[in-house]
Amino acid sequence: MHSRCSLWLPVVAGLVLVSMTAKPRAAGATDPHTPAAVAGLPLHNDTPNPEGTPPVTAIPQLVEGGNQFAWDLYRELARGEGNLFFSPNSISVALAMTYAGAAGTTQREMAATLHLGTDPDQLHQAMQSLLKQWAVERKDQGYQLRVANRLWGQRRYEFLGEFLAVTREYYGAELARLDFGQDAEAARGTINRWVEEQTENKIVDLIPSGALNSSTMLVLTNAVYFHGSWSRAFDKKLTRDDDFHLGGGKQVRVPLMHQRSRFRHGAVDGLQVLDLPYGNADLSLVVLLPDAVEGLGQLESQLTPERVGTWLAGARSGEVQVYLPKFKVTSSYVLNDALCALGMPSAFAADAADFSGMTGQRDLFISKVVHKAYVDVYEEGTEAAAATGVIMERTSVAPPRPVPIFRADHPFVFLIRDNRTGAILFLGRLSDPTA
C-alpha cells in the first residue's frame, strides 16, 4: 500500500494545508476529465441549503466532537519534546472541507477520527454557523477574530459541482485555478501570499519549496487570525525577570508579568486553573498549571474533555495574585502520521483513498497535511494565528480569605477558548519560554 503516513516533524506556532495528489491511473482507466466520468454522481446528499439552519443539537455536538479531536491530537503531538502549539479548530475546518468529498471507508474513518457525530448536511450547516460567529471584527469588544478558507485547484482538472457548492456555500471557500504542473513555484508563492495576508504576516511560507508538483491537483487552506486585549491588562512596570523552572534542577530567566485582580480560578486534582478573559469575555486564555514543578506529564495524562470541563466549571471568581511569563511560540507540523494513528489511514493511501465526491473518480489521495501556528502573549493581550474565548461568572460575596497565588513559573498547558460555545480554538503547552 502506497501511503503518505510519515513521521510528523515539529518545525515552527493556525493554518492547514491539505494537498490532494492524483493517483497513478491504470492503463485503460476512464479519464476523470470527461463529462461521462463526473456526471450523475451524488455527494452524499450534501446539496447546500444556505437558507437552512442546523438543528439545535448540531452545534453542541460539533463543538463537543471538535474538542475531543483537539485532546486526541494533543496526545499524539505531545509525544515530542518542548513547546507545543496548534489550532485544532483550523485543522478540523480544513479536514471537514476535505470530508465533503470523501466516500466509503475514507468517509467513515474521517468521521470517526474527527468525531463529527452528525450527518453531512447537519455538519456543514453547523460549521457554517460557527464560522459566521467567529469571523466577526469585534475591535470595540476587545478582540479581532478572522477565519478564511480557500481551494486551489489544478487548471483544467474537473471537480464535481456538488463538492464545490458545499465548500463555497458553507465554508466561503472559492476555487482558484493554478498550474501546479507547469509552474509549481509560482503556485506555491500565490498560496503563501494569500496565507500571509490572512494572518497579518504571522504565518510565512506555509508551503515549503518542493511540496507541490505535477501530481498536485487540489490544495485546501484554512487561516485563522486572533488579536485580543486582556479585560484586565498587566502593568508593564510590574514585569520582572525571574526564574522559570524547567525541571531536573534547571531554570531560565524570563520576563514574568504580574497583577492582582479578580479572575476565575480553581485548585483541584494537583493543579490550578486560571481564566484570563479578553475584552468582553467572549474569549479567554485558560492556563492549567500543575502544582509540582515537574508535574506536566501527570497533568497531560489526565487531559480529557470531561476532566477539563469539570475543572473549568469548578473555577470561581475572586482575587488572585497572577504571575505569568511573556512568551512566543511558533510551531509547524506535518500531521500525516498523527492523523493516521488517530484512525484515518486510508485517506493517505493511494490504493485505498476514496475522494470520489470531489471528482467522480477515486483518483485522489491526501499527500500531506501541514499545520503552522503562532502565539504571542504579552502585557496588553495576545496575538495568534487562531483563537478561542471564555465566560466570566460571578460568585456570591464570601468572608475575607488569603489571596491565592497563581505563579506560572514552570511548564503548563494553555488554551484559547470560545466561552460562548466552549470550542477550543488554540491549544498548547509551554515547556520553555526561551525556546
In this structure, what CATH number is given to the domain that contains residue 277? 2.30.39.10
Helices (DSSP H) in 78-171: which residue ranges?
A: 88-99, 104-114, 120-134, 161-171
47 within a domain of the structure (yes/no): no
In contact, 435 and 83? CB cutoff 8 Å: yes
Three-class SS state of 1: coil
- What pLDDT is stored for residue 384 in this prediction? 80
185 within a domain of the structure (yes/no): yes
The verdict on 213 and 361 lying in the same domain is yes
Cβ count within 10 A of residue 15: 29
Measured in residues, the chain has a length of 435
- What pLDDT is stored for residue 50 in this prediction? 43
Comparing CA positions, the residue from 170, 178, 181, 68 lying closest to residue 128 is 170
293 within a domain of the structure (yes/no): yes
43 within a domain of the structure (yes/no): no
CA-CA distance, 62 to 64, in Å (whole number)?
6
- What pLDDT is stored for residue 46 in this prediction? 34
367 within a domain of the structure (yes/no): yes
- What pLDDT is stored for residue 141 in this prediction? 81
- List CB contacts of 167: < 8 A, sequence separation 6 or more: 97, 100, 149, 151, 173, 175, 220
Top pLDDT among 425 and 44 is at 425
Range of the domain at 285: 231-326+387-430
- List CB contacts of 74: < 8 A, sequence separation 6 or more: 84, 88, 300, 303, 427
The verdict on 317 and 355 lying in the same domain is no
- Cell readout for 68 is 475531543
Asked if residue 113 has pLDDT above 80, the reply is yes
- What pLDDT is stored for residue 13 in this prediction? 30
pTM of the full structure: 0.85
In contact, 354 and 103? CB cutoff 8 Å: yes
What's the one-letter identity of residue 237? K
- What pLDDT is stored for residue 90 in this prediction? 92
The verdict on 411 and 362 lying in the same domain is no
The verdict on 198 and 69 lying in the same domain is yes
Asked if residue 359 has pLDDT above 50, the reply is yes
- What pLDDT is stored for residue 142 in this prediction? 87
The verdict on 338 and 349 lying in the same domain is yes
4 within a domain of the structure (yes/no): no
CA-CA distance, 393 to 389, in Å (whole number)?
13
